[in-house]
Copies of this chain bind each other. A is one copy, B any other.
Amino acid sequence: MNKRVTIMDVAKLAGVNYSTVSLALRGDERIRKSTRDRVAEAASELDYTPNRLARSLSGGSSKVIGVMFTEMSHFFAKPLEALQSTFEKEGYTLSVHFSSWNRQRERNELIHFCENRVDGLIWAPTEWNGEAFIETNELLQRYKTPYVLLGLVEDDCPVVCNQVGGLIEEPIRLAVSYLKSLGHQHIGVATATRLPGHVGGMHRLRLQVIRKVFADYNLTLKESDILETSDHDHGGLEIALRIRENRGSRPTAILAAHDTLARGVAKSLLALGVKIPEDICLIGLDVVQRELDNGTTLASVSLEGEEATRRAARILMNIIGKPAGKSQAQKVIVAPQLILGTSCVPCS
C-alpha cells in the first residue's frame, strides 16, 4: 500500500494546520468559508478519504448500529427497512450479522460488535431462555453496549433488559376468538408440522398453542380436522382437495398456521370451486399479502413486526448516550392486529 493520504497531507497542500482540516471537512462554521473551500479542494485533489476508524477511536462513537438477526430471510426485510430509515436520519449506519441459528456464532458476533464499539445493538435472539441466552446477555451487559432484544416477549424472561415484541399466544387467541365470535364452533387447522428446520418448528409451536387456545375457548379440535401438509409453500392445494372432498362433515372455518399456507389453501379452494366465505371461512396468521382472486381478501392477524422494530429502534436511540444505562429496562409488548377481510363471515 502506497501510504494513505491523511489530513496532514491535505493540510500541507491547503497551507493550514491539520486540525483546521478536520474542522473544515466537517463544515464547521468557525472556519472561514474561503478556507473551507480551499481545504475541500485540496482534499479532492489528493483523493483524500477520511479514516473512520481513527475518527471513531478519537471521537468515542462509531455511529454504527449492530443488528443481529437469525437468518437471511424475507421475514426480516421490512423490519430491516424500518431500522434503516430510523437510524439513517440520525446519522447511523447499520451493520447486519446473522447467527444462522448457531448460538456460538451469535455470541461471537455480538462480542465482535461490542469490541468494534458499535453505538448500539438490535438483537433478535435464536432462543429466549436457554443457558447460552442468559450468559450472552450477561456478557453484553458487561460490555455496556446499549442493546434491545427484538422478537418474542415472554412473561418469565430470565433476563432483565430492554425488549420489544409480541406474546406468543395473543395472535392465535385473536384469530380464534374472532372465529368464535362469528359463531364458528367447528374449526379446522391447516399446518405443516412435519417440515424440517425452522419453518417446521414454527408450525409445531403454533399448533401446540392453537390446541391450548382452543381448549381455553372451549372448542374441540378433532384430530381429523388438523389438515397437515408437508409443503409450506405449495401444500395449499393438497389441503384444499381434502376440504372439497369432505363436503358433509367439514369445519365451517379454517385457521391456517401461516399466511403463506393460508393463501395457498385459499387460492386452491377458489380454483376448485369451493367458495370463500360462502362454503367455508378462512383466516391466516402473519400478514403476507391479502388480495386473493375474485376480489376476496384474506382475513389474518398481523404480528406487527415492523411496528415492533420501530419501537425497538426508538428505545435504542433513547438510551444511546444516556447516563451509563441508568435508564430502566423497558419491556414493550406489541399487540397483534386482527386484519379483517372478506374471507370470514358469521357461521350460518
What is A's interface to B at a CB cutoff of 8 Å? 1-2, 47, 49-54, 56-57, 62, 64, 71-74, 76-77, 80-81, 84, 93-98, 100, 109, 111-112, 114-117, 142-144, 231, 233-234, 236-238, 241, 260, 263-264, 267-268, 271, 324
B238 near A1: Cβ-Cβ < 8 Å: no
Q: How far is the CA of A324 from the CA of B4 in the complex (A)?
A: 12
A100 near B81: Cβ-Cβ < 8 Å: yes
Q: How far is the CA of A100 from the CA of B82 in the complex (A)?
A: 12
B72 near A80: Cβ-Cβ < 8 Å: yes
- A115 contact set on B, CB distance < 8 A: 49-52
- A100 contact set on B, CB distance < 8 A: 81, 84
- A117 contact set on B, CB distance < 8 A: 51-53
B237 near A260: Cβ-Cβ < 8 Å: no
Q: How far is the CA of A61 from the CA of B116 in the complex (A)?
A: 13
If A95-B96, A237-B268 touch, does A114 touch B49 (CB 8 Å cutoff)?
yes
Copies of this chain, complex-wide, total 2
B237 near A271: Cβ-Cβ < 8 Å: yes
B233 near A260: Cβ-Cβ < 8 Å: yes
If A237-B237, A237-B268 touch, does A80 touch B98 (CB 8 Å cutoff)?
yes
Q: How far is the CA of A73 from the CA of B267 in the complex (A)?
A: 24
* 10 nearest A-B pairs in the assembled complex, by CB-CB distance: A72-B77, A95-B95, A52-B115, A53-B57, A96-B96, A234-B267, A52-B116, A237-B271, A47-B142, A53-B56
B237 near A49: Cβ-Cβ < 8 Å: no
Within the complex, what minimum Cβ distance (angstroms) separates A113 from chain B? 9
11 A-B contact pairs sorted by A residue (CB < 8 Å): A1-B144, A49-B111, A49-B143, A51-B117, A53-B53, A53-B56, A84-B98, A84-B100, A95-B97, A234-B236, A237-B237
B84 near A76: Cβ-Cβ < 8 Å: no
Q: How far is the CA of A264 from the CA of B241 in the complex (A)?
A: 15
If A53-B62, A56-B53, A324-B1 touch, does A233 touch B76 (CB 8 Å cutoff)?
no
Q: How far is the CA of A233 from the CA of B262 in the complex (A)?
A: 12
Within the complex, what minimum Cβ distance (angstroms) separates A244 from chain B? 11
Within the complex, what minimum Cβ distance (angstroms) separates A217 from chain B? 30
Contact of A97 among B94, B234, B241, B324 (CB under 8 A): B94
Within the complex, what minimum Cβ distance (angstroms) separates A233 from chain B? 6
A51 near B47: Cβ-Cβ < 8 Å: no
